[in-house]
Amino acid sequence: MRCPVRAECAAHALAVREPYGVWGGLTEDEREELMGRARTRLITAAPSGATTATTGSRPT
């Protein structure tokens, strides 16, 4: 039987960067790998010449 809140549990753990335990069927290492992949996609998907939200300056 599969847990009915598995997806919500995993999403929460990823959103708050939960450092310990198994959440939504994902181990600490699996969550860290997923976050690393998401970070890489965000960086490579950023349009050139984009400004940062906090400073309004262009990244160097």
- The residue range of the domain holding 40 is 6-44
C-alpha–C-alpha distance, residues 6 and 20, integer Å: 16
Confidence check: pLDDT of 47 > 80: no
Query: Does residue 22 form part of some domain?
Result: yes
Q: How far apart are CA 3 and CA 39, in angstroms?
A: 28
pLDDT reported for residue 46: 74
Structurally, the chain folds into a number of domains equal to 1
Share of the chain above pLDDT 90, in %: 53
Average pLDDT, the chain: 82
CA distance 11 to 53: 24
Judged against a pLDDT cut of 70, whether residue 57 lies above it is answered with no
Judged against a pLDDT cut of 60, whether residue 51 lies above it is answered with: no
In a domain, 1, yes or no: no
Q: Is residue 53 part of a domain?
A: no
- 3-state SS class at 20: coil
Read off the pLDDT of residues 1-10 as tens digits, 9 standing for 90 and up. 789 999 999 9
Residue 23 located in a structural domain: yes
Q: Is residue 59 part of a domain?
A: no
Q: Is residue 57 in some structural domain?
A: no
Is residue 34 situated within a structural domain? Answer: yes
pLDDT score at 37: 82
16 falls within a domain? yes
